[in-house]
Amino acid sequence: MTSLDLRVATLNIGGGEKTFDDFTESTQASRQKALELLIKQLEADVLCLQEVTQHMDVDGQTHSLMDVIERTDHYPHAFFGKIISMETHMQVKKDVMVKGIFSDWWNWSMGNSIHSSFPFARLADPTRSGMPRNIPIFQPLSYEGNRDTDPRYVLLTRLKEAPHPFIANLHLTTLVGERPPDMIPRKREQAHLMRFQQISRFLDLVHTHILEKNEPLIVAGDFNATEDEAGIRHLLDAHPELMRLRPENDGPTHPDLRRAVDHIFFFPRSRLVDYTCWIETSDLSRRASDHLPVVAELQIR
């Protein structure tokens, strides 16, 4: 049976790149350079990013963080999954959208992305080339310009490389007021419930066509949840063959939190020959984002 050695990394870049928000040009350039150098240093075969932004200027030119990743020359295959945009969710409470209007931008958008050194395959036929799918797992009744009402998606793809693992990139809900120092108990409970529901919808999505068929699956992203939260416990309890890849230096992946909220999971454990996992804690990582990358090297049977 064919085996595959694969390095996977996940990183939320929203707190590091402020290219289209309120940082000075020199800070923007510094953050972008740090991100570019970090990605080269990680040398991941598959890179899952959250909170990737881009905008189209008055001349129709697109300025995207995808271009920063492309400059690393490591990822010939990349896909951006849009989650919110000016054209669909224009909201005057969202500062960057107001700035966009008065900067004559035609559009601004934010989403998640997957970058791969291997070609993407069709989900149904991994021997043929395909593209990732951007699938909603939470759609608010109305978008109010804050993270409480951000839509949430899973970006799902498959690699055109035996044994053709599926890759899922997730970024789950976090609510204003759910965490100290200004924690509101009701908000905390609501956030836990929303993440539980989003994980349940993800499991519904992959149950029949991936989990029941024992296909290899890597789930990575910013879960905004520690491993003992109900949603992640549900994720692991529902399918005992699904396991969290525990970093050897397990600890916080965000400076405001005491434990990791960014994770990599693998299914089924019976097809995992071996793995190592770590949180990249270098100074470069801290310059590139307020989240730290989680990296795993896997050998998949």
Question: Residue 2's pLDDT is what?
Answer: 72
Q: Is 255 exposed, middle or buried (0-12, 13-18, 19+ CB in 10 A)?
A: exposed
- With residues binned 3-state (H G I as helix, E B as strand, rest as coil), the percentages for the chain, rounded to 5, are 30, 30, 40
Strands 217-222 and 166-171: parallel
Token pair 């960014």 is found at 262
CA atoms within a 13 Å half-sphere pointing along the CA-CB vector of 202: 31
Neighbours of 172 (CB within 10 A): 25
Number of domains, the chain: 1
What is the per-residue pLDDT for 296?
Answer: 98
CATH number of 140's domain: 3.60.10.10
First to last CA, the chain: 7
pLDDT in tens, the chain (301 residues): 679 999 999 999 986 544 434 445 556 678 889 999 999 999 999 999 999 999 999 999 999 999 989 988 899 999 999 999 999 999 999 999 999 999 999 999 999 999 999 999 999 999 999 999 999 999 999 999 999 999 999 999 999 999 999 999 999 999 999 999 889 999 999 999 999 999 999 999 999 999 999 999 999 999 999 999 999 999 999 999 999 999 999 999 999 999 999 999 999 999 999 999 999 999 999 999 999 999 999 999 9
Which residue range is the domain that position 197 belongs to?
4-300
Q: Do 170 and 10 form a contact (C-beta atoms < 8 A)?
A: no
